[in-house]
A and B are shown apart, each in its own frame.
Chain A
Amino acid sequence: MSTGAPELVQDVGGGIAPGRETSAEIAARSPLELFWRRVRRDRVTLASALFILGLVVVAVFAGQIVDLVGARPPNEQSTKFLDEFGSASGPDFAAHSYFGTDGLGRDVFSRTLYGARISLEVAIISTFLTVLIGVVLGVIAGYFRGWADTLLSRLMDVMLAFPVLLLALGLGAACSFGQGCVQMSFANVGQVMVVFGVAGAFLVVGWRLLRARGAGDARPRAAELAAGAAAWLVVIVPGLVLWLAVGGHGALITPGLPVVIFVIVIASWPYIARIIRGQTLSLREKEFVEAAKALGASDRRIMFRHILPNLVAPIIVYTTLVIPTTILFEAALSFLGVGVQPPTASWGAMISDATEIFDTAWWYMTFPGLALVLTVLAFNLVGDGMQDALNPKTRGR
């Protein structure tokens, strides 16, 4: 991390990497400076970013905020807070019931606040995994082309053809009774995936080496082989996560956050990977990549220093597009009853509950719905603003 700012490998998830300048440097503004100047002038983006920041604070300190304003904890049921007919009661500031209560007498305000936790958790984890897998595999497919590309592109096709919602519903339906699916624990699924992935990687490398011995012309490069093997990380990594992190104690498949995240990642990574693959295909033909090759740069260097930095803009844009869809996806799954399980508060689950009493309790659907809409809108607007601010050709100032 030495010379100029763009030499830094830019972070996949957010913003541009910080640039440093030696004090003696004259004039030239660093890219970060430019980025800041542009964002500062863009009020909509700034407001949306502040909203998201506020949302993060709310999610992190949900418990403290609820205590501070005197609202009740999110899962506390009480008939005291129902109206005289025993159904949900509306907002009552005197009773510290700001958003009213649901049909069980739980406080909608604190449930909405706690729901932000679930939404952001899902958004961050699954977007991170989606973008990571999508970018890695997209760049590998686009840069090495050939058989690695064929393999990965067909994998993407299969994934895109997969009825993901059906998978989620099936998982939910089959596993929502009692202890969950007794037949197979997450650990077992993870083990199978890891074994499958490692075997696949070996097979691919072996097959490639065998084929190369037959045809004299194309000798496989070590990096190319490594990339082919790395393609199987898409199976191995989630497998390891399931095995070690999620299913370490022999947990069973029950509907919940891990299932939600798994389904979202499986459903979304091919979109990112396709876009990144296409961009990489066009970037690798640029003369500056050829120039780097003529200088003797390694494949890794070309991918990290020359291709990835030029992908930052699309990555950020699609990341900000993925975040709201993951939030909506989680809400949809919870709405359908296969997401976060009660009594944990989730916006989707709350909206789902609210549909039954919507004609009498408008507040129950309005507040979580509003939170959902505003959050998704804010992320989308920030995405737009980032795109403008990160484009090096946007007019200076």
Chain B
Amino acid sequence: MTDGLAGPVGDAVVGAAGIAVGAGAPALVEVRDLEKRFPLRRGPLQRETGAVRAVDGISFDVREGETLGLVGESGCGKSTTARLVTRLLEPTAGTIRYRGEDITHRSRRELMALRRDMQMIFQDPYSSLNPRQTAGSIIGEPFVIHGIERDETRRRARVRGLMEQVGLNPEHYNRLPHEFSGGQRQRIGVARAIALKPRLVIADEPVSALDVSIQAQIINLLSDLQRELGLTILFIAHDLSVVRHMCDRVAVMYLGKIVEVASAEQLFAHPRHPYTGALLSAVPVPDPQLAKLRRRQVLGGDVPSPTAPPAACRFHPRCPKAQPICSREEPALEVKEGGNIAACHFPLTIEEVAGRLPVRPG
């Protein structure tokens, strides 16, 4: 496979936050040491007895025009991250910069301009649309809120255009959400998100609630729109095949931390973090001969509670390669063999990767 540290990531710089800040396209969003704790209160005085550390010091960049995938198990903090970046939640610590401007603690009013630039697509097409609003008024709402296209007829025309763009019949303008199928409803959600021509779309598991056959349609729609509108997408998912199809770079999260960042090819060809390896080895292999060769790495136990995460490396209680040092010293995100950036003292070797992801020779 690949060779040594030099490789294609020669231009990667390890930034102040301990993460490689990629060169190439400029960063649209820079997230540094972002943290979100949800306090647990108990007793009559509501004293803080602890906290769920949903996101615990993560740093990453979203580069202009790319699709960055954010993957991980349920409860690892993916959706919290999305809501922090869109500032639907108030970060506990860390900074978020958008096009160089610090937006970490902006007030709702100051965020208004940003809202035009940054939009979100939600996971559940059933609860993300107001059941009492027609499709047309859902898609037209961004214009109303931001005072664009105040003229009624022109707004209707824009909304119809958007409906066509996302593959909906503009004649369904006056239909209510419950009159649409799941895929159509998600298209309404997409149309609403792109209505104001944003630069950044944050898609929070946009296809996980959909039928597999519909998933492909929505993903292709997103890809097409990305090309047409030059969108940058932060794509959150737990389906690795979807991520592979969709993303340029992928960040893997585990228990509120990013454990590995790499380009999609690098990550799927040679995962370095044992957790990534375990995730990838769980993806079904369609080739029965290869499937026989594969040594699946099954993780024992459950994800530990985010209220009391394990010390140092959070993965060490479940890691097949754990050594004493893993519970003493937290590994930093570093460039590993093959160009992946991973936080691990003992990254997977070529042989270990081969066992998890068998490749047909030749």
A residues contacting B by CB (< 8 A) are 2-7, 21-22, 25-28, 30-31, 217, 219, 221, 286-288, 290-297, 301, 305-306, 309-310, 312, 392-393
Contacts and interface: CB of A to CB of B under 8 A. Distances in A.
Contacts of A22: 156
Contact of A294 (B119, B123, B132): B119
A218 B141 CA distance: 29
Interface in B105-136: 107-108, 111-112, 115-116, 119-120, 122-124, 127-134, 136
B142 to A, nearest CB: 5
A393 B119 CA distance: 29
A4 B133 contact: yes
30 contacts: A2-B152, A3-B134, A3-B136, A3-B156, A4-B137, A5-B134, A6-B132, A7-B134, A21-B174, A27-B171, A221-B108, A287-B123, A288-B127, A288-B129, A288-B130, A290-B128, A291-B122, A291-B128, A291-B129, A294-B86, A294-B88, A294-B120, A295-B142, A295-B146, A296-B112, A296-B145, A301-B145, A309-B130, A392-B132, A393-B178
Interface residues on B, range: 35 or more
A6 B175 CA distance: 11
Nearest to B192: A291
B219 to A, nearest CB: 20
A153 to B, nearest CB: 15
Contact of B130 (A217, A310, A312): A310
Most buried by B among A221, A295, A305, A393: A295
B175 A28 contact: yes
Nearest to A28: B174
Q: List 4 tightest A-B contacts by C-beta distance, closest first.
A: A296-B115, A4-B134, A28-B174, A287-B128
B173 interface: yes
A292 B146 contact: no
B106 to A, nearest CB: 12
Given A287-B122, A287-B124, A295-B142, A4 B174 contact: yes
B162 to A, nearest CB: 14
Interface in B130-175: 130-134, 136-137, 140-142, 145-146, 152, 155-156, 171-175
B176 interface: yes
A299 to B, nearest CB: 9
Contacts of A287: 122-124, 127-128
B128 A288 contact: yes
B127 A392 contact: no
A6 B145 contact: no
A6 B123 contact: no
Given A221-B108, A294-B88, A296-B115, A7 B127 contact: no
Contacts of A306: 130
Contacts of B90: 217
Given A290-B122, A291-B120, A6 B137 contact: yes
A21 B174 CA distance: 9
Interface in B202-225: none
A5 to B, nearest CB: 7
Contact of B131 (A3, A292, A297, A392): A392
A292 B115 CA distance: 10
Contact of A28 (B124, B145, B155, B173): B173
Given A4-B136, A4-B137, A309-B132, A26 B122 contact: no
A123 B260 CA distance: 66
A19 to B, nearest CB: 9
A62 B355 CA distance: 92
Contacts of B172: 28
Interface string B83-108: 10010101000000000000000011
Contact of A30 (B128, B132, B174, B178): B174
A3 B140 contact: yes
A310 B119 contact: no
Contacts of A290: 83, 88, 120, 122, 128
Nearest to A21: B174
Contacts of B133: 4, 6-7, 305, 309
A297 B176 CA distance: 21
A295 B141 contact: yes
A139 B358 CA distance: 57
Contacts of B108: 221, 296
A292 B189 CA distance: 11
Contact of B137 (A3, A27, A392): A3
